[in-house]
Structure 1
Amino acid sequence: MRQGILRRALDDQEQQSGDGDVEVVDIHKLAAGDGGRALLERLFQEDSDPFLRRLRDRIDMVGIELPTVEVRYEQLTVQADVVAAGRALPTLWNAATNFLQGLIGRFGSSNKRNITILKNVNGILKPSRMTLLLGPPSSGKSTLMRALAGKLDKNLKVSGNITYCGHPISEFYPERTSAYVGQYDLHNAEMTVRETLDFSRRCLGVGARYEMIAELARRERDAGIKPDPEIDAFMKATAVQGQETNIITDFTLKVLGLDICADVIIGDEMIRGISGGQKKRVTTGEMLTGTARALFMDEISTGLDSSSTFQIVKFMRQLVHVMNETVMISLLQPPPETYNLFDDIILLSEGYIVYHGPRENILEFFESAGFRCPDRKGVADFLQEVTSKKDQQQYWYLDQEQYRYVSVPDFAERFKSFHACQQMHKELQIPFDKSKTHPAALTTTKYGLSSWESFKVVMSREQLLMKRNSFVYIFKVTQLIILALMSMTVFLRIKMPHGQIADGNKFFGALTFGLITIMFNGFAELQMTIKKLPVFYKHRDFLFFPAWTLGVANILLKVPISFVESLVWVVLTYYVMGFAPAAGRFFRQFIAFFATHQMAMALFRFLGAVLKTMVVANTFGMFVLLIIFIFGGFVIRRNDIKPWWIWGYWASPMMYSQNALSVNEFLASRWASPNNDTIIDAPTVGKAILISKGLFTGEWGFWLSIGALVGFIILFNMLYLWALTYLSPSSGSNALVSEGEDDVMVLKGRSKDEMSQVVYSDPVLQALMERQTQ
Structure 2
Amino acid sequence: MNTDTDPDRSSLVEGPQLSFESGKTLMAQGPQAFHDLMATNVEAAMDRPLPQMEVRFNNLSVSADIVVADDHSNKYELPTIPNELKKLLMGPRKLTVRKEILKNICGRFTPGKITLLLGQPGSGKSALMKMLSGRFPMTKNITVEGDISFNNVPEKQILDRLPQFVSYVNQRDKHFPTLTVKETLQYAHTFCGGDLMQNGKGMLDMGSRHNDVEALEAAGKIFANYPDIILHQLGLQICQDTIVGDAMLRGISGGEKKRVTTGEMEFGMKYISLMDEISTGLDSAAAYDIVDTQRSIAQRLHKTVIIALLQPSPEIFSLFDDVMILNEGELMYHGPCSQVEGYFETLGFKCPPGRDIADYLLDLGTREQRRYEVPRPAKQPRSASEFAEYFRMSQIYQETLAALEAPYDSQLLESVKDTMDPMPAFQQPLVDSVRTLLARSLVITYRNKPFIFGRLMMITIMGFLYCTIFYQFNPTQISVVMGVMFATVMFLSMGQGAQIPVYIASRDIFYKQCRANFYRTGSYVVATTISQIPMAIAETIVFGGIVYWICGFASDAKLFIIFEVVVFLSNLAMGMWFFFLAGVCANENVVMPVGMVSILVFIIFAGFIVTKDQIPDYLIWAHWISPITWGLKALAINQYRSSDFDVCVYDGVEYCTKYGLNMGEYYLNLFGIETGKEWVAYGIIYLVAIYVVFMFLSYLALEYVRYETPENVDVSVKTIENESYALMATPKAADSKGNAVVDLPVNTHEKNFVPVTVAFQDLHYWVPDPHNPKESLELLKGINGYAVPGSITALMGSTGAGKTTLMDVIAGRKTGGKITGKILLNGYEASDLAIRRCTGYCEQMDVHSEAATIREALTFSSFLRQDASISDAKKYESVDECIELLGMENIADQIIRGSSVEQMKRLTIGVELAAQPSVIFLDEPTSGLDARSAKIIMDGVRKVADSGRTIICTIHQPSSAVFYLFDSLLLLQRGGQTAFYGDLGKNCRNLIDYFEGIPGVAPLLESYNPATWMLECIGAGVGHGNGDTMDFVSYFNKSPYNQQLESNMAKEGITTPSPDLPEMVFGKKRAANSMTQMKFVVWRYFQIEEVAQIIGILFNGIFMMFVGFSPPAYSIPSGYTWLYDICPIKFPMSILVAVVFADCDELPTWDEATESYTNVGTQLGCQPMADAPEDVGHITLKEYTEEYFGFEHDTIARNFGILIGCIVLFRIWALLALRFINHQKK
Are residue 457 (structure 1) and residue 431 (structure 2) matched? Answer: no
- Aligned partners of 1:718, 1:692: CA distance in 2, in Å? 36
Q: Bigger CA drift: 87-96 or 343-352?
A: 87-96
Are residue 185 (structure 1) and residue 173 (structure 2) matched? Answer: yes
Structure 1 counterpart of 2:1179: none
Give runs of aligned pairs for residues 342-491 of structure 1, distance below 5 A.
Answer: 342-388=320-366, 390-398=367-375, 406-433=382-409, 436-437=412-413, 438=415, 439-440=417-418, 442=420, 444-491=423-470
Q: Point out where structure 1 has 5 or more consecutive residues left out of the alignment.
A: 1-34, 240-245, 756-764
CA offsets per residue over residues 638-679 of structure 1, 9 Å max, x none? 222222222222222222222211122222344324344799
SS for the counterpart of 1:288 is: coil
Are residues 60 and 542 of structure 1, via their aligned partners in 2, closer, same or farther at CA, if it must alter by over 3 Å? closer
Are residues 563 and 423 of structure 1, via their aligned partners in 2, closer, same or farther at CA, if it must alter by over 3 Å? same
Structure 1 counterpart of 2:306: 328
Q: How far has the Cα of 1:730 moved from its partner?
A: 4.4
Q: How far has the Cα of 1:314 moved from its partner?
A: 0.5
Percent of matched pairs sharing the same residue: 28
- Aligned partners of 2:99, 2:68: CA distance in 1, in Å? 11
**Equivalent residues of 1:68, 1:324 under 8 A apart:** yes
Of the three residues 106, 116, 136, the one matched with 1:132 is: 116
**Equivalent residues of 2:108, 2:400 under 8 A apart:** yes
Q: How far has the Cα of 1:266 moved from its partner?
A: 0.7
Q: Which residue identity does 2:145 align to in structure 1?
A: S
Structure 1 counterpart of 2:525: 551
Structure 2 counterpart of 1:508: 482
- How high is the TM-score relative to the length of structure 1? 0.83
Of the three residues 680, 691, 695, the one matched with 2:673 is: 695
Of the three residues 684, 703, 707, the one matched with 1:706 is: 684
Of the three residues 671, 685, 704, the one matched with 2:663 is: 685
Structure 2 counterpart of 1:259: 237
Are residues 482 and 177 of structure 1, via their aligned partners in 2, closer, same or farther at CA, if it must alter by over 3 Å? same
Q: How far has the Cα of 1:460 moved from its partner?
A: 1.8
SS for the counterpart of 1:738 is: coil
- Aligned partners of 2:177, 2:437: CA distance in 1, in Å? 16
SS for the counterpart of 2:147 is: strand
**Equivalent residues of 1:317, 1:342 under 8 A apart:** yes
Q: Which residue identity does 2:152 align to in structure 1?
A: G
- Aligned partners of 2:520, 2:44: CA distance in 1, in Å? 40
- How high is the TM-score relative to the length of structure 2? 0.54
Q: How far has the Cα of 1:744 moved from its partner?
A: 10
Are residue 91 (structure 1) and residue 70 (structure 2) matched? Answer: no
CA offsets per residue over residues 206-231 of structure 1, 9 Å max, x none? 68756877777764544xx699x8x8
Are residues 81 and 666 of structure 1, via their aligned partners in 2, closer, same or farther at CA, if it must alter by over 3 Å? same
Are residue 292 (structure 1) and residue 266 (structure 2) matched? Answer: no
Q: Bigger CA drift: 47-56 or 353-362?
A: 47-56
Q: Bigger CA drift: 128-137 or 692-701?
A: 692-701
Structure 2 counterpart of 1:163: 149
Q: How many residues align?
A: 703
- Aligned partners of 1:433, 1:100: CA distance in 2, in Å? 60
- Aligned partners of 1:320, 1:282: CA distance in 2, in Å? 20
- Aligned partners of 2:536, 2:383: CA distance in 1, in Å? 65
Structure 1 counterpart of 2:937: none
- Aligned partners of 2:206, 2:66: CA distance in 1, in Å? 58
Are residues 713 and 432 of structure 1, via their aligned partners in 2, closer, same or farther at CA, if it must alter by over 3 Å? same
SS for the counterpart of 2:453 is: helix
Q: Which residue identity does 1:41 align to in structure 2?
A: K
**Equivalent residues of 2:24, 2:229 under 8 A apart:** no
Are residues 527 and 586 of structure 1, via their aligned partners in 2, closer, same or farther at CA, if it must alter by over 3 Å? same
- Aligned partners of 2:195, 2:117: CA distance in 1, in Å? 28
**Equivalent residues of 1:69, 1:441 under 8 A apart:** no
**Greater helix share, structure number:** 1
- Aligned partners of 1:733, 1:77: CA distance in 2, in Å? 14
**Equivalent residues of 1:631, 1:649 under 8 A apart:** yes
- Aligned partners of 2:708, 2:701: CA distance in 1, in Å? 13
SS for the counterpart of 2:265 is: helix
Are residues 604 and 358 of structure 1, via their aligned partners in 2, closer, same or farther at CA, if it must alter by over 3 Å? same
Give runs of aligned pairs for residues 520-535 of structure 1, distance below 5 A.
Answer: 520-535=494-509
Structure 2 counterpart of 1:42: 25
Q: How far has the Cα of 1:556 moved from its partner?
A: 2.1
Structure 2 counterpart of 1:492: 471
Are residue 586 (structure 1) and residue 560 (structure 2) matched? Answer: yes
Q: How far has the Cα of 1:629 moved from its partner?
A: 0.9
Q: How far has the Cα of 1:95 moved from its partner?
A: 11
Q: Point out where structure 2 has 5 or more consecutive residues left out of the alignment.
A: 1-17, 724-844, 851-899, 905-927, 934-1226
Q: Bigger CA drift: 109-118 or 42-51?
A: 42-51
Are residues 305 and 369 of structure 1, via their aligned partners in 2, closer, same or farther at CA, if it must alter by over 3 Å? same
- Aligned partners of 1:732, 1:120: CA distance in 2, in Å? 18
Are residues 717 and 169 of structure 1, via their aligned partners in 2, closer, same or farther at CA, if it must alter by over 3 Å? same
**Equivalent residues of 1:165, 1:434 under 8 A apart:** no
Q: Which residue identity does 1:478 align to in structure 2?
A: M
Larger Rg: 2
Q: CA RMSD in A?
A: 3.5
- Aligned partners of 2:381, 2:253: CA distance in 1, in Å? 43
Q: Which residue identity does 1:431 align to in structure 2?
A: P
Are residues 563 and 356 of structure 1, via their aligned partners in 2, closer, same or farther at CA, if it must alter by over 3 Å? same
Are residue 150 (structure 1) and residue 134 (structure 2) matched? Answer: yes
- Aligned partners of 2:86, 2:252: CA distance in 1, in Å? 38
Q: Which residue identity does 1:237 align to in structure 2?
A: K
CA offsets per residue over residues 583-634 of structure 1, 9 Å max, x none? 2332222222222212222222222222242111111111011111111111
Are residues 134 and 236 of structure 1, via their aligned partners in 2, closer, same or farther at CA, if it must alter by over 3 Å? same
Q: Bigger CA drift: 471-480 or 326-335?
A: 471-480
**Equivalent residues of 1:177, 1:441 under 8 A apart:** no
Q: How far has the Cα of 1:695 moved from its partner?
A: 1.1
**Equivalent residues of 1:602, 1:713 under 8 A apart:** yes
- Aligned partners of 1:394, 1:587: CA distance in 2, in Å? 81
Are residues 170 and 98 of structure 1, via their aligned partners in 2, closer, same or farther at CA, if it must alter by over 3 Å? farther
- Aligned partners of 1:81, 1:314: CA distance in 2, in Å? 40
SS for the counterpart of 1:362 is: helix
Q: Which residue identity does 2:127 align to in structure 1?
A: T
- Aligned partners of 1:549, 1:647: CA distance in 2, in Å? 32
**Equivalent residues of 2:52, 2:412 under 8 A apart:** no
Q: Bigger CA drift: 52-61 or 367-376?
A: 52-61
- Aligned partners of 1:190, 1:128: CA distance in 2, in Å? 38
SS for the counterpart of 2:397 is: helix
SS for the counterpart of 1:200 is: helix
Q: Which residue identity does 1:69 align to in structure 2?
A: M
Structure 1 counterpart of 2:34: 51
Q: Which residue identity does 2:148 align to in structure 1?
A: I
- Aligned partners of 1:48, 1:38: CA distance in 2, in Å? 16
Of the three residues 588, 595, 600, the one matched with 2:574 is: 600
**Equivalent residues of 1:131, 1:328 under 8 A apart:** yes
**Equivalent residues of 1:64, 1:216 under 8 A apart:** no
- Aligned partners of 1:255, 1:50: CA distance in 2, in Å? 12
Higher relative contact order (CA 8 A, sep 6+): 1
Of the three residues 507, 512, 515, the one matched with 1:538 is: 512
Are residues 94 and 123 of structure 1, via their aligned partners in 2, closer, same or farther at CA, if it must alter by over 3 Å? farther
Are residues 425 and 680 of structure 1, via their aligned partners in 2, closer, same or farther at CA, if it must alter by over 3 Å? farther
Q: How far has the Cα of 1:751 moved from its partner?
A: 9.8
SS for the counterpart of 2:601 is: helix
**Equivalent residues of 2:602, 2:628 under 8 A apart:** yes
